[in-house]
A and B are shown apart, each in its own frame.
Chain A
């Protein structure tokens, strides 16, 4: 969308400029709006969806408690995932071949097995290790008391997330030009200092967008832990429909909350991305800025970007 700046020489001033017509844009817009209205009307007038039941349970107390648990799980698992991921990514790029191989093995193992299977393994850890001692004398922990369903969920989701996130962090680190490393070491910075002060801040631009994606993914992946009977959002809905058999309306209730939270997270991600992209590229206006521009009367046709 390049705009031609019209030279303001006198012979052009006399000409009437007519905007180019775009009939197909109008047609496609009308077709899509029509289709959208039809679908919405159809969904909301179909009594089989049970919208009365949906509205009854949408703000239910136990659904709300489930939502809180889902958010807690998302935050805790992502925190574990991100911290371990940075560690693993740095290990992957280490000059030490043993450290490098270890990190590679971790990522291969956790990415290579389904997270549902991992969750079931952690939950039933006592079948393999009834007593956990970490190989230390005097440590004697009962695996079943130690691994509550919540801990099993956090371990399963957090460790699995670390494997995926570490690849994102690694890509971010590799995206920083090698010259930056050289310049830092020329200035006498150690490897650790270079990483903390030079590389990671610049890597963030590449790391943040897929991390937002991972957070949204994690929010929904927490529903898997319903198999461990952790009272998160989906499980709370399941408990209710186990009694009243309104299965579909309650699944809709859970979905509405998932969409609501992911929408909020999406907005957060949008602004976070813009923050880390400062100075690297010209940013398009935010939707809010676009709306303001749309409603601003006597707006300048197009100001050339300063």
Chain B
């Protein structure tokens, strides 16, 4: 009997609690300074017959390709208000590449540093998650250039430590980065070496599992700055309602961003042709304009 009473009371409490579900997550970003575009308003893309002929027969007959991305990197990859649909520049660009080839694109969310191993394991046909093209990554996957990007430094509002994207300024400071990123693997170690060569204390990299963890460390004062793609930092800073901002200074080491494909994938030629054709007819400009991506991010060698 008492068990019944306890059970009933618990059930009643839960029922009251849950009957009044709210939709706060679907209004996320209402306090932000940017307006997330409506991803349902798609930029129309038609099939490029010449490019679609390059698609390997097995993939063409399947008709769909799965594309992996880490949906925590606005404006490139993020979840829509329903927290299920992946939207963002990369989501739309990957879909556009697929449409140009007459293929349906299935977007799959995955942790950033699990994407390239997943690609090698054949879990995904393609990956587009703002990957900088680096020699190490090129050992395990093939790339098709579609954008370029350089690093910037995120700082707390007002830039109290007076940081800027200059290696000599960063010396001796604690700088966060997401593990597995170019910043974590190459750029911060390179800057640390520049510092010690110049006789200054080395920059201290602090690596975190996700971009959010890195930003949280910045907000709690554990690190002085966070290094990531400059376009993403400035967009995310605005999205957060000013919790952090992009420090002044030129972008660091602009380098190509690539769509990753499994090594030796037959799909590479087709994807390369599709990317070129999206640049040639100006579809790329519609997409970058929609997602507030500056022209400095446009690739100098699309499809390469």
Asked whether A61 lies within 8 Å of B212 as measured between CB atoms, the reply is: no
- Give the contacts of A68-106 with B (CB-CB under 8 A): none
Tell yes or no: A110 within 8 A of B by CB.
Answer: no
- Say which residue of B10, B118, B243 sits within 8 Å of A124 (CB atoms): B118
- Tell me whether A126 and B10 are in contact in the complex, defined as CB-CB below 8 angstroms, given that A59-B20, A60-B25, A229-B109 are known contacts: no
Q: A57–B23 Cα gap in the complex (Å)?
A: 8
Q: A241–B244 Cα gap in the complex (Å)?
A: 14
- Tell me whether A60 and B21 are in contact in the complex, defined as CB-CB below 8 angstroms, given that A239-B83, A271-B3 are known contacts: yes
CB of A179, distance to nearest CB on chain B (Å): 33
Asked whether B6 lies within 8 Å of A241 as measured between CB atoms, the reply is: no
Asked whether B239 lies within 8 Å of A264 as measured between CB atoms, the reply is: no
Q: A63–B25 Cα gap in the complex (Å)?
A: 9
Tell yes or no: A238 within 8 A of B by CB.
Answer: yes
Tell yes or no: B211 within 8 A of A by CB.
Answer: yes
Tell yes or no: B59 within 8 A of A by CB.
Answer: no
Tell yes or no: B24 within 8 A of A by CB.
Answer: yes
Chain A interface size range: 35 or more
* Residues in B neighbouring A248, C-beta threshold 8 A: 216
Tell yes or no: B56 within 8 A of A by CB.
Answer: no
- Give the contacts of B222-269 with A (CB-CB under 8 A): 236, 239-241, 243-244
- Give the contacts of B69-117 with A (CB-CB under 8 A): 71-72, 74, 78-79, 82-84, 109-111, 114, 117
* Residues in A neighbouring B299, C-beta threshold 8 A: none
Asked whether B25 lies within 8 Å of A61 as measured between CB atoms, the reply is: yes
- Tell me whether A236 and B83 are in contact in the complex, defined as CB-CB below 8 angstroms, given that A60-B25, A242-B78 are known contacts: yes
Asked whether A242 lies within 8 Å of B117 as measured between CB atoms, the reply is: no
* Residues in A neighbouring B79, C-beta threshold 8 A: 239, 242-243
* Residues in A neighbouring B44, C-beta threshold 8 A: none
* Residues in A neighbouring B240, C-beta threshold 8 A: 244-245
Tell yes or no: A171 within 8 A of B by CB.
Answer: no
CB of A215, distance to nearest CB on chain B (Å): 16
- Tell me whether A57 and B20 are in contact in the complex, defined as CB-CB below 8 angstroms, given that A124-B117, A126-B123, A229-B111 are known contacts: no
CB of A74, distance to nearest CB on chain B (Å): 16
Tell yes or no: A213 within 8 A of B by CB.
Answer: no
* Residues in A neighbouring B65, C-beta threshold 8 A: none
Give the interface SS of chain A, mostly helix, strand, loop or mixed.
helix
Asked whether A57 lies within 8 Å of B122 as measured between CB atoms, the reply is: no
* Residues in A neighbouring B216, C-beta threshold 8 A: 247-248
Tell yes or no: B15 within 8 A of A by CB.
Answer: no
> Taking CB as reference atom, which chain A residue is nearest B74?
A243
Tell yes or no: B64 within 8 A of A by CB.
Answer: no
Asked whether A59 lies within 8 Å of B212 as measured between CB atoms, the reply is: no
* Residues in A neighbouring B25, C-beta threshold 8 A: 57, 60-63, 239-240
Kindly specify which of B26-34, B166-174, B189-197 makes contact with the partner chain.
B26-34
> Taking CB as reference atom, which chain B residue is nearest A240?
B25
CB of A84, distance to nearest CB on chain B (Å): 27
- Tell me whether A244 and B18 are in contact in the complex, defined as CB-CB below 8 angstroms, given that A236-B83, A264-B10 are known contacts: no
Asked whether B24 lies within 8 Å of A56 as measured between CB atoms, the reply is: yes
- Tell me whether A130 and B29 are in contact in the complex, defined as CB-CB below 8 angstroms, given that A243-B239, A271-B6 are known contacts: no
Max count, chain A CB within 10 A of own CB: residue among B25, B211, B215, B216: B25
Asked whether A267 lies within 8 Å of B121 as measured between CB atoms, the reply is: no
Q: A264–B248 Cα gap in the complex (Å)?
A: 52
- Say which residue of B14, B210, B219, B239 sits within 8 Å of A244 (CB atoms): B239
Asked whether B28 lies within 8 Å of A130 as measured between CB atoms, the reply is: no
Asked whether B212 lies within 8 Å of A245 as measured between CB atoms, the reply is: yes
Q: A120–B117 Cα gap in the complex (Å)?
A: 11
* Residues in A neighbouring B243, C-beta threshold 8 A: 245
- Give the contacts of B118-159 with A (CB-CB under 8 A): 118, 120-123
CB of A180, distance to nearest CB on chain B (Å): 29
Asked whether A57 lies within 8 Å of B24 as measured between CB atoms, the reply is: yes
> Taking CB as reference atom, which chain B residue is nearest A123?
B114
* Residues in B neighbouring A57, C-beta threshold 8 A: 22, 24-25
Tell yes or no: B2 within 8 A of A by CB.
Answer: yes
- Tell me whether A127 and B120 are in contact in the complex, defined as CB-CB below 8 angstroms, given that A227-B111, A229-B111, A244-B29 are known contacts: yes
- Tell me whether A240 and B28 are in contact in the complex, defined as CB-CB below 8 angstroms, given that A61-B21, A245-B236 are known contacts: yes
Q: What are 7 inter-chain pairs, A to B, with CB distance below 8 A? A: A60-B23, A61-B21, A124-B118, A231-B84, A242-B72, A245-B243, A247-B212
Which 7 pairs of residues, A with B, have the shortest CB-CB distance? A127-B121, A242-B72, A245-B240, A62-B83, A126-B121, A56-B24, A247-B216
Chain A residues engaging chain B, CB cutoff 8 angstroms: 56-57, 59-64, 120, 123-124, 126-127, 130, 144, 227-229, 231, 236, 238-245, 247-248, 264, 267, 271, 286, 288-289
